[in-house]
Amino acid sequence: MTKLSVNVNKIATLRNSRGGNNPDVLKTALDIERFGADGITVHPRPDERHIRYADVFDIKKNIHTEFNIEGNCTEQKFVELVLANKPTQVTLVPDAIGQITSNHGWNTIEHKDYLTNMISVFKNAGIRVSIFVDPVVEMVEGAAATGTDRIELYTEGFAKEYAINKEKSIAPYIAAAKKANALGLGINAGHDLDLHNLNYFAQNVPGLLEVSIGHALVCDALYLGLENTVQLYKRQLL
């Protein structure tokens, strides 16, 4: 079954908007685990506008399921943070400084040498590595050449197209997944997956190991309750 990793960045955004510690990011992460999630994802950025570096250390010390840290490995502080915490997985995302949210995958061909070097740094520390890629067969082939363990398919394109033509929206992801499976790469996915499109995506992408969902899940929780929402997302992956 595909695992659900819940991104708690939005919980941290809410906390930071007023100062103090309400909501408590650590408690929320542990509650999300207790409600049935298979893992917790964080994506710290240099300005700490949502997840703070201290949050990463707190979650790592207390988490019982998988811990996934996303971020841009061109930032030395991020690299040091990951190596200090040794999460289950690090997901390398090519974010620019100040970028609001991730919006594209790595060019794995152009950046092959850089990625190969960075991936080896994390793998030598015993950390599973995933790299963010667009659903393009050539980018998947390039990812395999870097030595990464997994890829994370960037799913915004699928989410935007889904309501218009779901068969067309899923086609490049199926092709990318088939190539990844053939090359021995694990497959993760994330960005704009929600209760409307998640089941279709999971049912049609072969070998999908994990999805990382934050924004949509937290928005749904405002209406449906956090525990109920986590379980509803889990059911989409059965």
Active site residues: 43, 70, 191
- Among 204, 209, 107, 205, smallest CA distance to 149 is for 209
Estimate to the nearest angstrom the gap between the alpha carbon of 109 and the chain centroid. 22
Would you report the helix, strand and coil content of the chain in percent, each value rounded to 5? 45, 15, 35
Cβ-based neighbours of 29, under 8 Å, separated by 6 or more? 6, 8, 11, 40, 59, 62, 63
Beta strand 208-213 with 3-7: parallel, antiparallel or unpaired? parallel
Are the C-beta atoms of 138 and 105 separated by less than 8 Å? no
**What's the one-letter identity of residue 90?**
V
What stretches of the chain adopt beta strand conformation (E)? 3-7, 39-42, 66-71, 89-92, 128-133, 150-154, 186-190, 208-213
Placement of tokens 């930032």 in the chain: 75
Longest dimension (CA), the chain: 49
Task: Check if the beta carbon of residue 230 is closer than 8 Å to that of residue 35.
Answer: yes
Q: How many CB atoms lie within 10 A of CB 204?
A: 17
